[in-house]
Structure 1
């Protein structure tokens, strides 16, 4: 009997060591929600960027940098969305793997809509014929070569993303009298971008739930390689989430079908993935695709677009101060709703709720137009 402890100890030593769950980091809440769905029952990823801040200009804190340093896997949209993360990933993620979802083969990518052309098209065509916008098939290349000279200087400023700085310069009189874009912006109009401009791929690809459908499987496969012991769970979770997404896509398509010919203006040109998936047709955006501060000329263009196209629906966002919206809508009869592309209002990360919430917000505004 005195040998029993040794026998038991030897048996325990013979058992295979249980592999640790990978340390997984994500960038924004929608990606966090998708990865958490795949990891359900196994572990929970760490979300790096807060939902109430614009990822275009967010600067990471030391604690967030440490999370990257300890990561086995990083799932992020890409440098086009959060340029500050690119350098951090290159310098801190030495042992782990960083996966840019935007650039995975199979992701549906759309080119940025050239912002000034975006507005001019809606003016010249009366807001009724949207085929030339490229919404129907996702092809926006026709805009890529037009209007850059004026656009690059008017909208190139990142400006901490339009919170209080530009809001205080935008008066409540009329947007076209506002010289806000010329005040305090030119000095760093290109510096804060770190080379990030409106050309190339629009990074807001998570707003097409079909991309999310593809990413679920891709995430599961990456996790399966890193953690073979839980590979079956990751793959089963991804398959279940994909089925839920298929149901949601069909339901939202039916919900938004009546509004395909209703014009609207968004605050931040971030929704073309959602629009093309569900047949919506934006007439313009107050901010450009990366959230650069609007010039006085741009604000006037938006105001003219609203008036001449009889558009009565305009959207705000929780990440941006809505003073600009109030300025351009002065004297106009508009209905406004808040679009929440990052899920600020969600109590916990839930991609399905995020997409359904967007659908409800679009319907609430467009039903008044």
Structure 2
């Protein structure tokens, strides 16, 4: 009897996140969007998260509970098909969803190919663009939340948009927006002060996922390695990347939570390389009203913590 009761309790606990998402009025696809929404909605309601922290939008498969949550939400915030391609057919038929990447308020950049930057001129690190220009589908960098300026624009849009969902709390939404932007400005000033002395320090990343953050703070990776955690590189590829690291001398390599230590060790063994971890999705950060700032502070702290040792 006790075992049956214990098993039932585990099932209920395991189902809780899905039930919360299914009952939510506001649903976000990834955690950084949930963090921004939580700041705007503080004391009004709690936004739900479609994908569990740590899940990759590149490989995610919808569950029946996800479909129910998407069908029941009054407002759905997603980046767009450039990131959550698995949602394109479903959400582009729903008028309650907002693809934030395609808002006219967004400042966007082109997605660069993974390659080594060593022999390129630093002036053209990342190209900004706006929606007044033509883009091929899928060429835009979807990591818009890593720009504090874009995060502020997203929050402003949400506050105005959600006033129609919560008309009696419109003043609270606006007050929350004002507080969020004040905190964002203070955080931004602190991060600029710390990162400004590190802009010429050499570092490498595993994909072109930090361009908005790097543009905003004047950072520039010496190389972007074309590695995927879904496909393990061969020995020849590993050797080519090791040659790039060896030529760079003392530098930092930033991995992400999904990459295995074995892969990183094979790349850096015997080289004067320091290894750090960046988490662009803030997987371990609480949702709370200050969760977004903590996500950016963690990224900046990881970058600075390694680069300051060089």
Question: Are residues 208 and 329 of structure 1, via their aligned partners in 2, closer, same or farther at CA, if it must alter by over 3 Å?
Answer: same
**Structure 2 counterpart of 1:244:** 183
Quote the Cα distance in structure 2 between the aligned partners of 1:206 and 1:26.
13
Do 1:56 and 1:291's aligned partners in 2 also have CA atoms closer than 8 Å?
no
Deviations 1:28-76 (A, max 9, x none): 1110011111111111111001221211211122212211010110011
Moved more, 318-327 or 329-338: 318-327
Do 1:39 and 1:237's aligned partners in 2 also have CA atoms closer than 8 Å?
yes
* Secondary structure of residue in 2 paired with 1:332: coil
Do 2:83 and 2:142's aligned partners in 1 also have CA atoms closer than 8 Å?
yes
Deviations 1:79-132 (A, max 9, x none): 1111112233246x4xx511111111111101011223xx1x31x25xxx6224
**Structure 2 counterpart of 1:114:** 113
Quote the Cα distance in structure 1 between the aligned partners of 2:145 and 2:158.
14
Do 2:249 and 2:272's aligned partners in 1 also have CA atoms closer than 8 Å?
no
TM-score scaled by structure 2? 0.83
1:131 is matched with which residue: 116, 123, 141? 123
TM-score scaled by structure 1? 0.70
**Structure 2 counterpart of 1:81:** 83
Deviations 1:218-251 (A, max 9, x none): 0011101233222111122112101110111111
1:332 is matched with which residue: 259, 271, 277? 271
**Structure 2 counterpart of 1:263:** 202
1:272 is matched with which residue: 211, 217, 227? 211
Question: Are residues 55 and 320 of structure 1, via their aligned partners in 2, closer, same or farther at CA, if it must alter by over 3 Å?
Answer: farther
Larger Rg: 1
Quote the Cα distance in structure 1 between the aligned partners of 2:87 and 2:251.
38
Do 2:229 and 2:258's aligned partners in 1 also have CA atoms closer than 8 Å?
no
* Secondary structure of residue in 2 paired with 1:225: coil
- 1:44 aligned to 2:46? yes
Do 1:286 and 1:294's aligned partners in 2 also have CA atoms closer than 8 Å?
no
Quote the Cα distance in structure 2 between the aligned partners of 1:255 and 1:85.
38
**Structure 2 counterpart of 1:142:** none
Do 1:77 and 1:101's aligned partners in 2 also have CA atoms closer than 8 Å?
yes
**Structure 1 counterpart of 2:293:** 352
* Secondary structure of residue in 1 paired with 2:281: coil
Do 1:25 and 1:47's aligned partners in 2 also have CA atoms closer than 8 Å?
yes
**Structure 2 counterpart of 1:24:** 26
- 1:71 aligned to 2:73? yes
**Structure 2 counterpart of 1:10:** none
| CA RMSD after TM alignment | 2.4
**Structure 2 counterpart of 1:227:** 166
TM-aligned CA deviation for residue 291 of structure 1 = 6.6
**Structure 2 counterpart of 1:59:** 61
Quote the Cα distance in structure 2 between the aligned partners of 1:37 and 1:275.
24
Matched positions, count: 279
Quote the Cα distance in structure 2 between the aligned partners of 1:60 and 1:239.
35
Quote the Cα distance in structure 2 between the aligned partners of 1:54 and 1:333.
31
**Structure 1 counterpart of 2:132:** none
Quote the Cα distance in structure 2 between the aligned partners of 1:33 and 1:366.
27
TM-aligned CA deviation for residue 287 of structure 1 = 3.5
Quote the Cα distance in structure 2 between the aligned partners of 1:205 and 1:265.
20
- 1:363 aligned to 2:290? no
Do 2:204 and 2:223's aligned partners in 1 also have CA atoms closer than 8 Å?
yes
**Structure 1 counterpart of 2:104:** 105
**Structure 1 counterpart of 2:18:** none
